[in-house]
Amino acid sequence: MKTLLAAIGLIAIIGVAAGVVVGVWVFRNVDARLLLTNQPATVIIPEPLRVSAQVLNNLEISLDTSITTTVPVDQMITIPIAETLNVMADFDGDVPIKINVPVRDKIQIDQILDIDTVIKAEILGDKHDLPLRGKIPVKATVPVSLNIPVDQLVRLKFKAPVQARLKQALRVPLKADISTTIPIKSQMSVPVRSALEASITIPDPAKIVIVESDLLLPLRTVLLSLGQHGNPAPAPAPAP
């Protein structure tokens, strides 16, 4: 009888040991399959997401800024000028002069004239030719009234300030680099022909809904609880 009980006890010990070994092997190597459908969840995405989006409509872009740029200019420009210029005139050359110079003067005469001529004289009612020779002192004031024509080249050389009225359009070549600030204020509709690459960062936890999921969970990571209000059982330590 004692031998039978000992045998039964040995068999029980061997069965328990075998069950423990099988349980440990299952716990370490068997995964649980979890099917989820329309399950709410909260996730945290620590790294930025690289996404590609296809834009179906035109992008409406509003611009209100200023652009500083350098514009190269190489062209002929027209500058209208209508003003009076004060310049220095430097002249050296021949000038044709054609004028009438009026002379109104009095000439003083004080000299002795030699006379050798024949004059007509009336003597006793008759006219006779009388030769006249000799020296006659003359002292008188003779008025002069003449118009003297002048037609000749006169050489002039001078340097003097003059005023010049300028009213015309000047064509000037302009070749330069012009730095300018261009204000831009407009509304544009830009068609997008290709996909847009973007990087999205989600700093806060995001609420999602798992529509359908088939998860494989190792048994050593599964946490069992007693129900909605029960305290969850502590998770077993993961196997090394």
Position with higher pLDDT, 220 vs 211? 211
Say if residue 101's pLDDT is above 50: yes
Per the structure, how many domains does the chain have? 1
Say if residue 233's pLDDT is above 70: no
Residues 116-154 pLDDT 10s: 887 777 777 777 787 778 887 878 888 888 888 888 888
Residues 208-219 pLDDT 10s: 887 887 776 666
pTM exceeding 0.85: no
In a domain, 23, yes or no: no
Q: What is the pLDDT of residue 177?
A: 86
In a domain, 239, yes or no: no
Range of the domain at 106: 75-174
In a domain, 152, yes or no: yes
Q: What is the pLDDT of residue 54?
A: 75
What's the average model confidence in pLDDT over 233-237? 47
In a domain, 139, yes or no: yes
In a domain, 33, yes or no: no
In a domain, 144, yes or no: yes
Q: What is the pLDDT of residue 29?
A: 64
Q: What is the pLDDT of residue 238?
A: 45
Per residue, what are the HEC states of the chain? CHHHHHHHHHHHHHHHHHHHHHHHHHHHHCEEEEEEEEEEEEECCCCCEEEEECCCCCEEEEEEEEEEEEEEEEEEEEEEEEEEEEEEEEEEEEEEEEEEEEEEEEEEEEEEEEEEEEEEEEECCEEEEEEEEEEEEEEEEEEEEEEEEEEEEEEEEEEEEEEEEEEEEEEEEEEEEEEEEEEEEEEEEECCCCCEEEEECCCCCEEEEEEEEEEEEEHHHCCCCCCCCCCCCCCCCCCC
Q: What is the pLDDT of residue 23?
A: 65
